Amino acid sequence: MQSFELDKTDVSRLKTALNSSDSQLAITLDEYHASEIAILFESLTKEDRQRIINLLPVETASEIISEMHEEAHPEELLLQLHPDKRTEIVEELDYDDATDIISQLEEHDQKEILGNLNEDDASNIRNLLSYDEYTAGGLMNTQFIRIYLHMTKKDAIDEIIRQSEEIEEFYTIFVIDNHNVFQGIVSLKDIIKAKGNEEITALVKTDVAWVSADTDQEEVARLISQYNITSIPVLDKEMKLLGRVTFDDVIDVLEDENTEDILKISGVSEDEELSGNWIEAVKSRLPWLILNLATAFLASSVVRYYEPALKNIAVLSAYMVIIAGMGGNAATQALAVTVRRISLNDLTDNQAYRTVLKEFTVGLINGAVTGMIVFLFSLGFDKNPLLGVVIFLAMTGNLLIAGVTGAAIPLILKRVGIDPAIASSIIITTFTDVFGFLLLLGLASRLLL
Q: Are residues 428 and 296 in the same domain?
A: yes
Please give the pLDDT value at position 401.
94
pLDDT band at 244 (very low <50, low <70, confident <90, very high): very high
Please give the pLDDT value at position 3.
47
Q: Are residues 91 and 191 in the same domain?
A: no
In this structure, are residues 253 and 138 in contact, taking their beta carbons and an 8 Å threshold? no
Distance CA 368, CA 330 (A): 13
Q: Is residue 270 in a domain?
A: no
Question: 23-52 burial by CB neighbour count: b if 16+ within 10 A, else e?
Answer: eebeebbeebebebbbbbbeebeeebbbeb
Q: Are residues 153 and 52 in the same domain?
A: no
For residue 331, give the CATH number of its domain. 1.10.357.20
pLDDT band at 260 (very low <50, low <70, confident <90, very high): low
Q: Are residues 231 and 373 in the same domain?
A: no
The pLDDT of residue 6 is above 60: no
Please give the pLDDT value at position 413.
84
Residue 276 is classified by DSSP as: -
Q: Is 247 exposed, middle or buried (0-12, 13-18, 19+ CB in 10 A)?
A: middle
Residue 239 is classified by DSSP as: -
Q: Is residue 253 in a domain?
A: no
Give the tens place of pLDDT for each residue, 118-146: 999 999 999 999 999 889 999 998 889 99
Please give the pLDDT value at position 1.
40
Q: Are residues 112 and 168 in the same domain?
A: no
Give the tens place of pLDDT for each residue, 27-81: 999 989 998 999 888 788 899 999 999 999 999 999 999 989 887 889 999 999 9
The amino acid at 13: R
**Residue finishing a domain among 247, 270, 299:** 247
Q: Is residue 108 in a domain?
A: yes
pLDDT band at 426 (very low <50, low <70, confident <90, very high): confident
Give the tens place of pLDDT for each residue, 146-196: 999 999 999 999 999 999 887 877 778 999 999 989 999 999 889 999 987
Q: Are residues 189 and 288 in the same domain?
A: no
For residue 103, give the CATH number of its domain. 1.25.60.10
In 207-355, which ranges are E strands? 211-212, 231-235, 241-246
Q: Tell me which residue range forms the domain holding 410.
A: 278-447
pLDDT band at 262 (very low <50, low <70, confident <90, very high): low
The pLDDT of residue 418 is above 80: no
Give the tens place of pLDDT for each residue, 263-275: 665 555 555 555 5
Q: Are residues 239 and 342 in the same domain?
A: no
**Closest by alpha carbon to 130, among 230, 55, 213, 216?**
213
Q: Are residues 186 and 48 in the same domain?
A: no
Q: Are residues 112 and 154 in the same domain?
A: no
Q: Is residue 266 in a domain?
A: no
Q: Is residue 333 in a domain?
A: yes
Give the tens place of pLDDT for each residue, 274-330: 555 667 777 767 777 787 788 788 888 888 898 888 888 888 988 998 999 999 899
Q: Are residues 158 and 113 in the same domain?
A: no
- Mean residue pLDDT across the chain: 86
Q: Are residues 315 and 393 in the same domain?
A: yes
Instruction: Tell me how many domains the chain contains.
Output: 3
Q: Is residue 89 in a domain?
A: yes
Q: Is residue 261 in a domain?
A: no
Predicted TM-score of the model (pTM): 0.62
Give the tens place of pLDDT for each residue, 87-110: 999 999 989 899 999 999 999 999
Q: Is residue 154 in a domain?
A: yes
What three-state secondary structure class fits 51?
helix
**Residue finishing a domain among 130, 153, 177:** 130
Q: Are residues 125 and 52 in the same domain?
A: yes
